[in-house]
Amino acid sequence: MIDIKSKREIELMKEACRVTVLVHKAIEEAIKPGVSTLELDKIAEKVIRENGGIPAQKGYPGPDKYTPAFPASICASVNDEVIHGIPSNRVILKEGDVVSIDLVVYKNGYNGDAARTYIVGKGSKDDERLLDVTKKAFFEGIKFAKQGFRIGDISHAIGEFVEKNGYSVVKEFQGHGIGKSMHEDPGIPNYGKAGKGPRLQAGMTLAIEPMVIAGNENILELDDGWTIVTQDGSKSAHYENTILITEKEPEVLTLL
């Protein structure tokens, strides 16, 4: 069941999203060679809590009964790690690394979710293009995030744009509805057929998140039960925002 948010609920979500943006800004300023992903995690949790929020990912249940709860406040995925990378003091960022930071802030009963991919220091032209295409894929998708269109219209636009530019989309993971829960209906794949899926209505809040791989689409899960990597070792990028469907253009809640 897809939850349609009231005006009051939307205002509460906007506050959670505002804090989410503040955290990303703090992380972006801190990313540089020699910094560990665990240091970034500590910065994120500090900013979240100072702004009255809770790091929603910390303690999030594992995907199965054998996987422990997620231990950190952010997902920090480096180079061939696609998503769900666990911050560590052993992962020290180097010049040219590509690092994706995905974080969710819970505040006043609602969640804000956004992911960004950064290049540490100076990166290659290939990596810059990967990040650019991933970000543009999000904006191609939300051209169809309007009342009356369908989820499949967003999915198709993202997948078509990514593949047209010579990259692959991750098919095993997808965007999602968001609100009181981090993950709500509907699921939003980054590929698919236009004209399919639930019809969009004003008041829906969605997390749209292209996950793009420079090589082929095949992925693997590491033994920690969380980290997803590319099978061929190629780099990947992740760009996500929480959006609101309105009666006109979509509103991106995690951009200030």
Q: Would you list the DSSP string of 224-254?
A: TSS-EEETT---EEE-BEEEE--SSS-EETT
8-state DSSP, 62: P
The per-residue pLDDT for range 106-156, each reduced to its tens digit, is: 999 999 999 999 999 999 999 999 999 999 999 999 999 999 999 999 999
- What pLDDT, on a 0 to 100 scale, did the predictor assign at position 254? 98
Cα 149 from chain centre: 22
Residue 217: which H helix or E strand, with range? none
Other CB atoms within a 10 A radius of the CB of residue 153 amount to 23
Query: Cα dihedral sign for 62, 206, 1, 53?
Result: positive
At 5, is the pLDDT very low, low, confident or very high (cuts 50, 70, 90)? Answer: very high
Domains delineated in the chain: 7-252 (3.90.230.10)
pLDDT in tens, 61-102: 999 999 999 999 999 999 999 999 999 999 999 999 999 999
Residue 193 pLDDT more than 80? yes
Q: What's this model's pTM, rounded to 2 decimal places? A: 0.97
Strands across the sheet containing 251-252 = 184-188, 175-177, 205-208, 241-244, 251-252
Which residue bears the tokens 């369908």? 150
Indicate the average pLDDT of the chain. Answer: 97
Task: Tell me which residue of 144, 172, 166, 148 sits closest to 157, measured CA to CA.
Answer: 144
Torsion sign, CA atoms 240, 208, 124, 171: positive
Cα distance between residue 14 and residue 10, in whole Å? 6
Confidence tier at 219 by pLDDT (50, 70, 90): very high
Per-residue pLDDT, 154: 98
Token pair for 225: 């039960």
Name which of 213, 241, 216, 254 is nearest 83 in CA terms. 213
Amino acid residing at 91:
V
Confidence of residue 256 (pLDDT cuts 50, 70, 90): confident
Tell me the percentage of the chain whose pLDDT exceeds 90: 99
Q: Which of 214, 248, 250 is nearest to 100 (CA)?
A: 214
Rounded mean pLDDT, 159-180? 98
Residue 99: in which H helix or E strand, if any? strand 98-107
With cut-offs at 50, 70 and 90, classify the pLDDT of residue 203. Answer: very high
> In sequence order, what are the residues at sequence separation of 6 or more whose Cβ sits closer than 8 angstroms to the Cβ of residue 194?
150, 152, 153, 156, 157
Percent of the chain residues topping a pLDDT of 70: 100
Q: What is the pLDDT of residues 8-64, one digit of tens each?
A: 999 999 999 999 999 999 999 999 999 999 999 999 999 999 999 999 999 999 999
> Whole-angstrom distance between the N-terminal and C-terminal Cα of the chain?
30
